[in-house]
Amino acid sequence: MEFSHIPVLYKEVMEGMAVRADGAYIDGTVGGGGHSSGIAESLGDGGRLYCFDQDTEALAAAGKRLEKFGSRVHFYHDNYVNAVKDLKADGVTGVDGILLDIGVSSYQLDNPERGFSYNEDAPLDMRMNRENPLSAYEIVNDYEEKELARILKEYGEEKFAGRIAKNIVSERAKAPIRTTFELNEIIKMSIPAKMRADGHPSKRTYQALRVECNRELDVLKESIDGMIDFLNPGGRLLIISFQSLEDRIVKNAFRTAENPCICPPSLPQCVCGRKSKGKVITRHPITASAEEAEENRRSKPAKLRIFEKGEA
């Protein structure tokens, strides 16, 4: 299957990144290389783009797409949470822009064998890095009922988390739950018929399993501060999120980086000594235009937020 992924908010990302020909940039989630191709196109011979992805198939596709840019582009098979550490080990001291597009790719959704989609009958997997030992299969078949319910409620915001978890445990006692369609049937019988009209009944459960499987929220939380610190003065961190939990993390982290003071409001002046790291460029998230949303339905939930590092 060909790796295909339409980059969302492409124009807005290019404008927000404001690429300099001699600058250094990170694409922490290169995917098929859609955004990266625009960044690399704007670089001169002195510019550098460092592309990260934990999916080897994505890296292979991006490598082909970006090979024409030669030594401007460098690839790393790693999660973006390790990007700063990896680049420091290679002698890079800072960059002028970082992009994180943290949605699951169209390729991953549309490739049945990856197990991300509730619309295709496939083995339960959902690993973005297929070398990781934990897949959706282990979560569904090994986690205790209480932990399953917590994950579904916290990461999927699923109203019927307890009922779904109970039925999963009951059904797996008879035989392991191996496929997406087997899981769909359990979810369906756990949700009252009148409550299934709002989209596919499995949507929230699959989101929760994917987040748990890939540690998506933890990785995001662990990355933002270090990436801001790694920016050169005036450099920008751009993050595209696709669900409210992710967007909330980004919004709060950017707000804290801009105004980290923890002094009580009653104090006439700051005494905690915490200094601002820069400013939030997007007071409200940038979303897809009506035209883009119509052409690419997966762009509808996308939200882009931008933070700019302050001058030293």
Whether 189 and 226 share a structural domain: no
Whether 222 and 262 share a structural domain: yes
Residue 287 domain-assigned (yes or no): yes
* pLDDT at residue 312 is higher than 70: no
Instruction: Give the model confidence (pLDDT) of 7-56 as tens digits.
Output: 899 999 999 999 999 999 999 999 889 999 999 999 999 999 999 999 99
User: 31: domain range?
Assistant: 10-107+216-309
Q: Could you give the number of structural domains in the chain?
A: 2
State the pLDDT at residue 4. 55
* pLDDT at residue 159 is higher than 80: yes
Q: With 0-12 CB in 10 A as exposed, 13-18 as middle and 19+ as buried, what is 298?
A: middle
Whether 262 and 141 share a structural domain: no
Q: What is the CA radius of gyration of the chain?
A: 21
Instruction: Identify the CATH number of the domain in which residue 70 sits.
Output: 3.40.50.150
Whether 100 and 193 share a structural domain: no
The residue-averaged pLDDT of 159-165 equals 97
Specify the DSSP element, H or E, that contains 203. Answer: helix 203-214
Residue 198 domain-assigned (yes or no): yes
State the pLDDT at residue 102. 92
Q: Write the DSSP string, 227-296.
A: HHHHEEEEEEEEEEE-SHHHHHHHHHHHHHHH----S-TTSSS--S-----EEES-SS-B---HHHHHH-
Whether 136 and 204 share a structural domain: yes
Sign of CA dihedral 240, 244, 250, 251: positive
Could you tell me the pLDDT band of residue 193, with boundaries at 50, 70 and 90?
confident
Residue 2 domain-assigned (yes or no): no
Whether 235 and 209 share a structural domain: no
Could you tell me the pLDDT band of residue 89, with boundaries at 50, 70 and 90?
very high
Instruction: Identify the CATH number of the domain in which residue 143 sits.
Output: 1.10.150.170
Instruction: Give the model confidence (pLDDT) of 197-256 as tens digits.
Output: 677 899 999 999 999 999 999 999 999 999 999 999 999 999 999 999 999 999 999 999
- CA–CA separation, 68 and 276 (whole Å): 40
Query: What DSSP character marks residue 78?
Result: S
Instruction: Give the model confidence (pLDDT) of 146-158 as tens digits.
Output: 999 999 999 999 9
Among 214, 237, 266, the domain-final residue is: 214
Residue 1 domain-assigned (yes or no): no
State the pLDDT at residue 155. 95
